[in-house]
Structure 1
């Protein structure tokens, strides 16, 4: 049994569908044909029994209802009537009460059956010499005779018809099972065609890369079409993910190469001349320390971004009041950059909270304000604006610096992307801050957007889900 199960489990789905459909049809036909055959056989037997009982009543009536005397001799001489009543493959005989045969009439039956005693009380089926007979015995009483009438009918026509019905029924059943198997194969082939196409596409993807997609019929709207759509969408996402990963590796390699090259250059310089030259030694050590700090910051930001993009950010369920955090971050930046003016305008009335952890909101604000200060250029003014729009909390940070070209607005949230790479490197940026901020906002189901006018201003807006409570004192 285990071998059969193992063999069946290894068959292709097409053959499994064919075998199962044929097996189900076979079981249904066996059950239906068995019931049909049994019903027809029972009905034909009942017909034979009713016919022989009707014949018996007719013969009994002939002897019992005669107005004149009927004795033993009259019964023996009544063979003419019995011959008229007798049918093909039938025996009619009359015996006295001791079982002695008086008269017998038979058609197409062996003569020895006429004198063969048959043990039958009323109506039953018997086998004589391998043949099937229906025997009916009833008493007959006249004004001069008491005995038995026996009607014996050969059921060979019934057996022949029964065999023909059996043959036709089961031949039709076998043909139906065979046709169902062929139909099952055709249906399985038709149904599995999209899956075969999906398998073929997977093989092509394995050989040629992620550009291949499953061909789809626009008119097809079934479950397999949905599977193909999901597969194509998944491959789009996988291809995009691999492209981003490739770009990430290339960008990270490029960003790491510069500080490593600088460190290598200073180490070679120290090795050649810095051992005995305090001035060269001090300069190289200072530059190397700066590059190490840059490397440390870059690695930290890469790890943070990787953690965010792998959905391992711990999402806090507690609500946070944002205004005190905004004010605290503005206070810290005012101390760090005393020559900058940070304007804060709050339009929200009443108490409210946002669905974000306090530390994450603070980190986002630090990233945005740090960028605003770095790229303010000659302008020393930054505007911070908070307001409520429907049930959302909006905070905008606007600087009046170098601005961003329109075609670069959609790219500034990409990893390592800088509008002006040379100037950005001088300012110490790694090009990861906005990527980290965007991913963090998205993890809290928020939204972050950018707007800018090149050479004049840049504004970053963060939208978070809020829980507001109206100020009842107003």
Structure 2
């Protein structure tokens, strides 16, 4: 699909460039042709006035006598005087009578005509009617060959054709490269979408299969009391909760792909947010026997969506607790640094391998797939966290060392000092929840 689109774009680009080259080449050719023949016309008229018409007016030249014989014919100019019937009265020796204007071309006004010599050369003739001494009309014809101009124009055509052909080849090659670059992001997006659909289908298949298996077990044991199959009921509820969480995460990512911004922008104090997150995660931390602490080093107020920012922090704290062994500690710290507010979640858990860190924000990516699935993770949380940080004009960074722990830092722009209604601008007290 993309190869066809790439070739189609290349051909369109080459066609547009070809049209432009033809237009430019045509403009150059006709401009050069007009300029050359305008100069030829000017020279012919000047020679006619100087060599024939002015001498006739000054009675220095008699149309009835062979006075043109002595006119210099340098530059290839030839001169002739004809009667109204086209009969040649006088001419210079280099005049080719075949190339003179025919009687049908004679007119009462001056004009330029193109003819051919007996050798087939192109000639241009300036034709000017004049009054003779006895009141009769004669026609002065001054001309020369235009083969030099035509040769120059033919050479110009060859140069334009060669240059245009080379330009078209470059345009074709450049268009192919540009089309590839233009389609690369689309191709990547489509590939990611296909991968997302495939991964989502895989993630949904497992809980659905478990729900179906437990439901079939309940159906076979329908005569037994519910208490006898309470494990199957719990499994169905657990998988349903997991499906609900997965669908919610997928909807969030769909909003991210659609470019939706956070629903509201209000002042949010990150110290208060950290304290609330620690209180919210107390049951999970107690269950995992992990101590969790929140610290606020002074006010750190940002402008954003409180629900989305809470979701971001919950994802980070939840990951730290889930992937930390019993006895580990999780530290949540909020502080201001320059023009940024920093939110850091640090644990001393098992860490992340260095080769996995660059991929950690990819959708459905899990360092330990089997263990993540056992813990209910689908590999979407950090993708959502990064989207939330970026939609708030911030960034998220992970520093981890296997066996020593992980630090996740979210940097957000500090809110303007004059924002009204700043929430909890005073530093929040430290909150500590031990196992």
The TM-score with structure 1 as length reference comes to 0.63
Which runs of no fewer than 5 residues in structure 2 stay unpaired?
Answer: 1-11, 70-87, 91-107, 111-126, 419-424, 426-435
Where in structure 2 are the equivalents of 1:153-302 lying within 5 Å? Answer: 158-159=140-141, 161-162=142-143, 164=144, 167-168=145-146, 171-172=147-148, 174-197=150-173, 214=177, 228=178, 231-302=179-250
Looking at structure 2, the residues matched to 352 and 242 of structure 1 have their Cα atoms a distance apart, in angstroms, of 39
8 Å Cα contact 1:270-1:281 kept in structure 2:
yes
User: Residues 90-138 of structure 1: CA distance to partner in whole angstroms, max 9, x if unpaired?
Assistant: 9xxxxxxxxxxxxxxxxx959xxxxxxxxxxxxxx999xxx9874455x
CA 1:389 to 1:192, structure 2 compared with 1: closer, same or farther past 3 Å?
farther
Q: What residue is the counterpart of 2:27 in the other structure?
A: 24
Looking at structure 2, the residues matched to 126 and 302 of structure 1 have their Cα atoms a distance apart, in angstroms, of 86
From 376, 384, 401, the equivalent of 2:332 is 384
Where in structure 2 are the equivalents of 1:42-81 lying within 5 Å? Answer: 42-47=45-50, 48-55=52-59
CA 1:323 to 1:291, structure 2 compared with 1: closer, same or farther past 3 Å?
same
Of 302-311 and 314-323, deviating more is 314-323
Q: What residue is the counterpart of 1:326 in the other structure?
A: 274
- Secondary structure at 2:330's aligned position in 1? strand
Looking at structure 1, the residues matched to 256 and 129 of structure 2 have their Cα atoms a distance apart, in angstroms, of 91
CA 1:154 to 1:179, structure 2 compared with 1: closer, same or farther past 3 Å?
same
Looking at structure 1, the residues matched to 237 and 26 of structure 2 have their Cα atoms a distance apart, in angstroms, of 79
Which gives a bigger RCO, structure 1 or 2 (Cα 8 Å, sep 6+)?
Answer: 2
Q: Residue 462 of structure 1: CA displacement?
A: 0.7
Matched, 1:421 2:366: no
- Secondary structure at 1:408's aligned position in 2? helix
User: Residues 251-293 of structure 1: CA distance to partner in whole angstroms, max 9, x if unpaired?
Assistant: 2222212111111211221232334453444432332122111
Q: Residue 50 of structure 1: CA displacement?
A: 2.8
Q: Residue 357 of structure 1: CA displacement?
A: 2.2
- Secondary structure at 1:274's aligned position in 2? coil
8 Å Cα contact 1:447-1:463 kept in structure 2:
yes
Q: Residue 51 of structure 1: CA displacement?
A: 1.9
User: Residues 143-201 of structure 1: CA distance to partner in whole angstroms, max 9, x if unpaired?
Assistant: xxxxxxx698965xx51x32x2xx51xx55555554444433322221121332356x5
8 Å Cα contact 1:403-1:456 kept in structure 2:
yes
8 Å Cα contact 1:21-1:184 kept in structure 2:
no
Matched, 1:441 2:389: yes
- Secondary structure at 2:414's aligned position in 1? strand
Looking at structure 2, the residues matched to 402 and 18 of structure 1 have their Cα atoms a distance apart, in angstroms, of 64
From 34, 39, 49, the equivalent of 1:36 is 39
Q: Residue 38 of structure 1: CA displacement?
A: 4.0
Matched, 1:342 2:321: no
Q: What residue is the counterpart of 1:393 in the other structure?
A: 341
Q: Residue 296 of structure 1: CA displacement?
A: 1.4
From 347, 353, 360, the equivalent of 1:405 is 353
Which runs of no fewer than 5 residues in structure 1 stay unpaired?
Answer: 1-8, 59-81, 91-107, 111-124, 138-149, 202-213, 215-227
Equivalent residues, number: 352
8 Å Cα contact 2:389-2:395 kept in structure 1:
yes
Looking at structure 2, the residues matched to 186 and 395 of structure 1 have their Cα atoms a distance apart, in angstroms, of 64
8 Å Cα contact 1:89-1:154 kept in structure 2:
no
Looking at structure 2, the residues matched to 437 and 180 of structure 1 have their Cα atoms a distance apart, in angstroms, of 64
User: Residues 70-109 of structure 1: CA distance to partner in whole angstroms, max 9, x if unpaired?
Assistant: xxxxxxxxxxxx9xx975369xxxxxxxxxxxxxxxxx95
Looking at structure 1, the residues matched to 225 and 196 of structure 2 have their Cα atoms a distance apart, in angstroms, of 41
Looking at structure 2, the residues matched to 442 and 132 of structure 1 have their Cα atoms a distance apart, in angstroms, of 82
Looking at structure 2, the residues matched to 398 and 22 of structure 1 have their Cα atoms a distance apart, in angstroms, of 68
8 Å Cα contact 2:270-2:334 kept in structure 1:
no
From 64, 67, 82, the equivalent of 1:88 is 67
8 Å Cα contact 2:332-2:346 kept in structure 1:
yes
Looking at structure 1, the residues matched to 354 and 19 of structure 2 have their Cα atoms a distance apart, in angstroms, of 59
Looking at structure 1, the residues matched to 226 and 129 of structure 2 have their Cα atoms a distance apart, in angstroms, of 131
CA 1:385 to 1:276, structure 2 compared with 1: closer, same or farther past 3 Å?
closer
Q: Residue 457 of structure 1: CA displacement?
A: 2.3
Q: What is the aligned-residue RMSD (CA, Å)?
A: 3.9
Looking at structure 2, the residues matched to 23 and 46 of structure 1 have their Cα atoms a distance apart, in angstroms, of 34
Looking at structure 1, the residues matched to 390 and 23 of structure 2 have their Cα atoms a distance apart, in angstroms, of 49
